[in-house]
Amino acid sequence: MSEIALAADFAIIVVVATIIGLIARQTGQPTIIAYILTGIILGPVALDIVTEEGLVELMADLGFAFLLFLLGLKMRFEDIREILPAVTNVAIGQTVLQTALAFLVAWTLGFGTTEILVISLATVFGATPIIVKILTDKDEITSLPGKIDVGVLIVQDIYLVVVLALFAADELGGAADVASTLGVILVMMSFIALFSLFSSQYILPGLFRRIADNKDVFLIVAIAWAFLFVAIAEGADLDPKVGAFLAGLSIAQLPYSKELEDRITPITDFFILVFFATIGLQIDGLSSLLAYWWQAIVASVVLMVGNFWIMFYLIDREGFGVETSFLGSINMVQVSEFSLIVGALAIDQGLIGPDVLGYLSLMALLTMGISTYIIAYNHTIYERLEPWFRRFESDEGKDAEISTYEDHAIAIGYDEITERALPRLEAEFGDVVIIDRRTDHIEELEQEGRYDYVFGDFRHTEVRKEANLKGADFVLSSSVEREVNEALLAEVDDEATVFVEAERIGDARALYDRSATYVIMSTHLAAEKVSEYVELYVTDRAAFEDAVARDVDAIEARRRRERRRFGEDEAPSSAGVDADPTDSADLDADPDPDALEDRRSGGEFRD
Rg over CA atoms, the chain? 28
Specify the pLDDT at position 310.
92
Which of the four pLDDT bands, split at 50, 70 and 90, describes residue 563? low
**Burial category of 275 from C-beta neighbours within 10 Å (exposed 0-12, middle 13-18, buried 19 and up):** buried
Percent of the chain with pLDDT over 70: 81
d(CA 369, CA 374): 9
Q: What is the pLDDT of residues 108-138, one digit of tens each?
A: 998 988 889 888 888 887 776 667 667 766 7
496-502 long-range contacts, CB within 8 A, separation 24+:
496/472, 497/473, 498/474, 499/474, 499/475, 501/417, 501/477
Residue among 434, 443, 525 nearest 478 (CA) = 434
Residue among 459, 416, 398 nearest 83 (CA) = 398
Is pLDDT above 50 for 266? yes
Specify the pLDDT at position 137.
64
d(CA 105, CA 298): 9
Specify the pLDDT at position 176.
63
d(CA 301, CA 160): 23
For range 290-312, the mean pLDDT: 91
Specify the pLDDT at position 56.
66
Is pLDDT above 90 for 309? yes
Phi, psi of 570 (to 5 degrees): -80, 135
Interstrand relation of 432-436 and 452-455 (parallel, antiparallel or unpaired): parallel
Indicate the DSSP class of residue 175. Answer: H
Is pLDDT above 60 for 374? yes
Q: What is the pLDDT of residues 496-549, one digit of tens each?
A: 999 988 888 888 888 888 888 988 877 766 777 788 878 887 888 888 888 888
Q: Residue 242 carries which side chain, given as an amino acid letter?
A: V
Interstrand relation of 497-502 and 518-521 (parallel, antiparallel or unpaired): parallel
Specify the pLDDT at position 217.
84
d(CA 381, CA 393): 18
Specify the pLDDT at position 2.
53
> Helix/strand/coil (H, E, C) string of 517-578?
CEEEEHHHHHHHHHHHHHHHHHHCHHHHHHHHHHHHHHHHHHHHHHHHHHCCCCCCCCCCCC
Percent of the chain with pLDDT over 90: 5
- pTM here? 0.60
Q: What is the pLDDT of residues 452-503, one digit of tens each?
A: 888 877 877 778 877 888 889 999 988 888 888 888 888 888 889 999 888 8
Better pLDDT: 575 or 168: 168
Which of the four pLDDT bands, split at 50, 70 and 90, describes residue 44? confident
Specify the pLDDT at position 583.
36
For range 378-407, the mean pLDDT: 73
Residue among 112, 7, 107 nearest 54 (CA) = 7
Handedness of CA 358, 360, 366, 372 (dihedral sign): negative
Contact 67, 272 (CB under 8 A): yes
Q: What is the pLDDT of residues 130-188, one digit of tens each?
A: 676 677 667 676 677 877 887 787 777 777 777 777 776 656 555 666 677 677 777 77
Q: What's the first-to-final CA gap in the chain, in angstroms?
A: 59
- Secondary structure percentages of the chain, helix, strand, coil, to 5: 70, 5, 25
Cα separation values, 218 from 207, 215, 254, Å: 10, 5, 13
Specify the pLDDT at position 108.
93
Specify the pLDDT at position 574.
34
For range 259-284, the mean pLDDT: 77
For range 382-401, the mean pLDDT: 71
Phi, psi of 408 (to 5 degrees): -110, 180
For range 556-575, the mean pLDDT: 56
